[in-house]
Structure 1
Amino acid sequence: MINTVIHESGHALMALLGGDIHEISLFVNTEGVTYTSHSSWFGGFFTSLAGYIFSSAMAFLGFWLLAKGKNKVYIGILLGFIGLNLIFWVRNFYGIFWLITFGISFILLLIKSKKVVVETVILSLASIILVESVTSAFDIMALSFMHPQAAGDATNLAKSTVIIPVQVWGVFFFVQSIWWGVLSYRMGL
Structure 2
Amino acid sequence: METDSTSFTELWDRVVGTQPDPSEWLVAVTALIALAAIVPYGVWRLTRNAVTIAHEGGHGLVALLSGRKLDGIRLHSDTSGLTVSRGKPTGLGMILTAAAGYTAPSLLGLAGAWLLAAGHITALLWGAVLLLAAMLIMIRNAYGLLTVVLTGALFFLISWFTDADVQAGFAYAAVWFLLLGGVRPVFELQRKRAGGRAPESDADQLHRLTGIPAALWLFFFYVVALGSLLIGARLLLEPAF
TM > 0.5: yes
- Helix, strand or coil: the match of 1:159? helix
Structure 1 unaligned segments of length 5 or more: list them: none
Q: Is the CA contact 1:12–1:47 (under 8 Å) kept in the aligned structure 2?
A: yes
The structure number with the bigger radius of gyration is: 2
Alignment of 1:73-152 (within 5 A): 73-87=123-137, 89-147=138-196, 150=199, 152=201
Bigger helix share: 1
Amino acid at match of 2:227: W
Amino acid at match of 1:46: L
- What are the superposed Cα offsets for residues 95-132 of structure 1, whole Å, 9 maximum, x if unpaired? 10111122222211111111110111011111111122
Task: Measure the CA separation in 2 of the matches of 1:124 and 1:179.
Answer: 19
| Paired residue total | 187
Alignment partner of 1:43 out of 75, 93, 98: 93
Give aligned-pair identity as a percent.
27
Task: Measure the CA separation in 2 of the matches of 1:19 and 1:140.
Answer: 26
TM-score by length of 2: 0.73
Task: Measure the CA separation in 1 of the matches of 2:93 and 2:194.
Answer: 26
Sort the Cα spacing of 1:130 and 1:137 in 2 relative to 1 into closer, same or farther, 3 A. Answer: same
CA RMSD of aligned residues (A): 1.6
User: Do residues 186 (structure 1) and 234 (structure 2) align?
Assistant: yes
Task: Measure the CA separation in 2 of the matches of 1:185 and 1:100.
Answer: 29
User: Do residues 69 (structure 1) and 119 (structure 2) align?
Assistant: yes
User: Do residues 31 (structure 1) and 88 (structure 2) align?
Assistant: no
Amino acid at match of 2:106: S
> What is the CA-CA distance between 1:48 and the residue it aligns to?
0.5
Structure 2 unaligned segments of length 5 or more: list them: 1-48
Aligned to 1:160: 209
Q: Post-superposition, which runs of at least 4 consecutive aligned residues in structure 1 deviate over 6 A?
A: none
Q: Is the CA contact 2:189–2:198 (under 8 Å) kept in the aligned structure 1?
A: no
Sort the Cα spacing of 1:4 and 1:32 in 2 relative to 1 into closer, same or farther, 3 A. Answer: same
- What are the superposed Cα offsets for residues 45-96 of structure 1, whole Å, 9 maximum, x if unpaired? 1100112222211111222211211001111121122111112x11111110
Task: Measure the CA separation in 2 of the matches of 1:136 and 1:55.
Answer: 10
